[in-house]
Copies of this chain bind each other. A is one copy, B any other.
């Protein structure tokens, strides 16, 4: 009998308890032995929940109970989630989590502690909710050198951008609606400023390249400044606007960044709408593969959490090929100023200025749309585009600059 503890009885924690209970038969068949949820740790009591009698308030009971071999950390936030995870791993208990903040900030250390204590630390649910992506990066694509990963990693912002695109509504109006529907938090900063996507991007980079970049240091631009006019111009040019977590490796240097991007309607990421997530992996042998599905939500996220639990229950930790991360040093990190891509630049300028702009931006495309001049620049490094925009902007006010994917 495997005894399980769940830390945190919020949305994902209660979803995990439900999946473990409702699909107990197929899970036990797969695992080959019975299991039980022994404790649920939460500050609150849940007298009306069928799991109410398992709720305790003292973490020490869990970490000191030798019967507990598997812990699901569903608390969110860095502390005490990190501290509890560390204590469990040091006690030889395996831990699964959906907590991207802890994985992105402390993943290197926690993976090492798990290994040293014969335990496993798994986090399939920390990126892409119920979508399989961590294990595919670790196993299915293990014969490849991964070169880049691009993802729509945040359901809230993708819902907002999809609504803006389809209904022509403003960012502020759609955000308000999303908050009313429960798709966005009362304080939406972590979503709309891109921090949530940044943490997931860092986890994907560490899985792809073996190096953990500090999520607090990466370039991170949110969607609060995107207007319906930007949407219209992008659409006329054949692009959707998506918040993209991007990571790549070039000459051994890793870049992680989050920003709105123009995504061509002819590519599969453009079709990822509403609260769904999509992650596109570039690898040297397979080319491009994409995974798509529900990037959040109670049961989809719990589905991935429980898949990790099954992996742990059916294997010894030695039988699980855990990823090994090291923390990236400044040597490992690409100078963001050298990162080059095409850009959409929208200016208040007459069409007669087109020739000047073509030459200034090495532009491949200039369109007069919606009373503005929209320029698709050559592939330019960040430092170069910044300089050019300052120079050109002195004559023609620039209203928008969005990178292309």
Residue of B nearest to A306 (CB): B143
Taking the closest CB of chain B, its distance from the CB of A306, in whole angstroms, is: 4
How far does the alpha carbon of A311 sit from the alpha carbon of B302 in the complex, in Å? 26
B-chain residues with CB within 8 Å of residue A135 when the two chains form the complex: 135-136, 139-140
Residue of B nearest to A321 (CB): B314
Taking the closest CB of chain B, its distance from the CB of A27, in whole angstroms, is: 6
A61 at the interface (CB under 8 A from B): no
Q: Are A303 and B144 closer than 8 Å at their CB atoms? A: yes
Q: Are B311 and A139 closer than 8 Å at their CB atoms? A: yes
Interface residues on A, range: 35 or more
Task: A139-B310, A290-B292 given; name 14 further pairs at CB < 8 Å.
Answer: A23-B145, A26-B142, A30-B142, A130-B285, A140-B307, A143-B303, A143-B305, A268-B272, A285-B299, A285-B303, A286-B294, A286-B303, A287-B297, A314-B321
How far does the alpha carbon of A223 sit from the alpha carbon of B130 in the complex, in Å? 34
Which listed residue, B23, B124, B289, B314, touches A285 by the CB 8 Å rule?
A: B23
Taking the closest CB of chain B, its distance from the CB of A206, in whole angstroms, is: 15
How far does the alpha carbon of A306 sit from the alpha carbon of B143 in the complex, in Å? 6
A215 at the interface (CB under 8 A from B): no
How far does the alpha carbon of A142 sit from the alpha carbon of B30 in the complex, in Å? 8
A-B contact pairs, 14 of them (CB 8 A): A19-B285, A30-B142, A30-B321, A132-B140, A135-B135, A135-B139, A136-B140, A141-B303, A143-B307, A143-B310, A285-B299, A286-B304, A287-B293, A314-B321
Q: Are B303 and A293 closer than 8 Å at their CB atoms? A: no
How far does the alpha carbon of A304 sit from the alpha carbon of B297 in the complex, in Å? 30
How far does the alpha carbon of A300 sit from the alpha carbon of B285 in the complex, in Å? 6
0/1 string, A4-36, CB within 8 A of B gives 1: 000000000000000100010011001000000
A131 at the interface (CB under 8 A from B): yes
Residue of B nearest to A143 (CB): B306
How far does the alpha carbon of A3 sit from the alpha carbon of B19 in the complex, in Å? 42
Q: Are B140 and A304 closer than 8 Å at their CB atoms? A: yes
B-chain residues with CB within 8 Å of residue A315 when the two chains form the complex: 319, 321
B-chain residues with CB within 8 Å of residue A173 when the two chains form the complex: none
0/1 string, A92-113, CB within 8 A of B gives 1: 0000000000000000000000
A404 at the interface (CB under 8 A from B): no
A66 at the interface (CB under 8 A from B): no
A288 at the interface (CB under 8 A from B): yes
Q: Are B307 and A141 closer than 8 Å at their CB atoms? A: yes
A53 at the interface (CB under 8 A from B): no
- Of all A-B residue pairs in the complex, the 6 with the closest CB atoms, nearest first, are A289-B293, A132-B140, A319-B319, A143-B306, A130-B286, A285-B303
How far does the alpha carbon of A299 sit from the alpha carbon of B268 in the complex, in Å? 21
A177 at the interface (CB under 8 A from B): no
A386 at the interface (CB under 8 A from B): no
Taking the closest CB of chain B, its distance from the CB of A308, in whole angstroms, is: 9
B-chain residues with CB within 8 Å of residue A303 when the two chains form the complex: 141, 143-144, 283, 285-286
B-chain residues with CB within 8 Å of residue A272 when the two chains form the complex: 268
Q: Are B299 and A286 closer than 8 Å at their CB atoms? A: yes
B-chain residues with CB within 8 Å of residue A132 when the two chains form the complex: 132, 136, 139-141, 289, 291
Would A299 and B271 be within 8 Å (CB), given that A30-B142, A141-B307, A143-B307 are in contact? no
How far does the alpha carbon of A19 sit from the alpha carbon of B290 in the complex, in Å? 21
Q: Are B285 and A293 closer than 8 Å at their CB atoms? A: no
Taking the closest CB of chain B, its distance from the CB of A294, in whole angstroms, is: 5
Would A286 and B300 be within 8 Å (CB), given that A19-B143, A132-B136 are in contact? yes
A364 at the interface (CB under 8 A from B): no
